[in-house]
């Protein structure tokens, strides 16, 4: 068992659950109530759910590798971890553009994504 990778996966599953449940309430529903054309709304909703699927699949993979300690899959874990680190950087940079230093509070998603990537990387080095 690799507790670092397993922890990354568990945080990932929690993040996916938060994304699916809280995300529908906060950013998605208000956006769907706007006067934008239905094509843009449908595209956002599809993209939102694609991210949900990605989060679930990647987190489940991390849990599996962490649980059974499949060292042959460590390169894949490293790649997934780098994806999560990159996702967190995207939130930090986009947030900084819109909110400056307040981005760390206004867009806190980075605080869930960065630990997933960091723990995964620690677990495979």
pLDDT in tens, 70-118: 999 999 999 999 999 999 999 999 999 999 988 888 889 999 999 999 9
* Domains in the chain, number: 1
Question: Could you tell me the residue range of the domain that residue 118 belongs to?
Answer: 3-124
Please state which of the ranges 22-31, 54-63, 65-74, 108-117 shows the lowest mean pLDDT: 22-31
pTM: 0.90
* Rounded Cα–Cα distance for residues 49 and 53 (Å): 6
* Rounded Cα–Cα distance for residues 2 and 106 (Å): 33
Alpha helices by DSSP H, the chain? 3-23, 29-32, 38-68, 74-99, 103-106, 110-124
* Rounded Cα–Cα distance for residues 55 and 19 (Å): 9
Structure tokens of 3? 């507790």
């Amino acid at each position: 068992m690799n507790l670092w990778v397993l922890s990354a996966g568990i945080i990932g599953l929690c993040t996916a659950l938060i994304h699916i449940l809280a995300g529908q309430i906060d950013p998605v529903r208000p956006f769907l109530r706007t006067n934008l054309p239905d094509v843009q709304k449908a595209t956002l909703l599809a993209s939102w759910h694609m991210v949900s699927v990605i989060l679930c699949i990647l987190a489940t993979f991390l849990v599996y590798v962490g649980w059974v300690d499949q060292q042959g899959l460590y390169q894949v874990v490293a790649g997934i971890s780098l994806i999560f680190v990159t996702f967190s950087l995207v939130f930090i940079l986009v947030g900084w553009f819109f909110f400056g230093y307040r981005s760390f509070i206004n867009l806190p998603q980075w605080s869930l994504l960065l630990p997933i990537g960091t723990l995964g990387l620690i677990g495979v080095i």
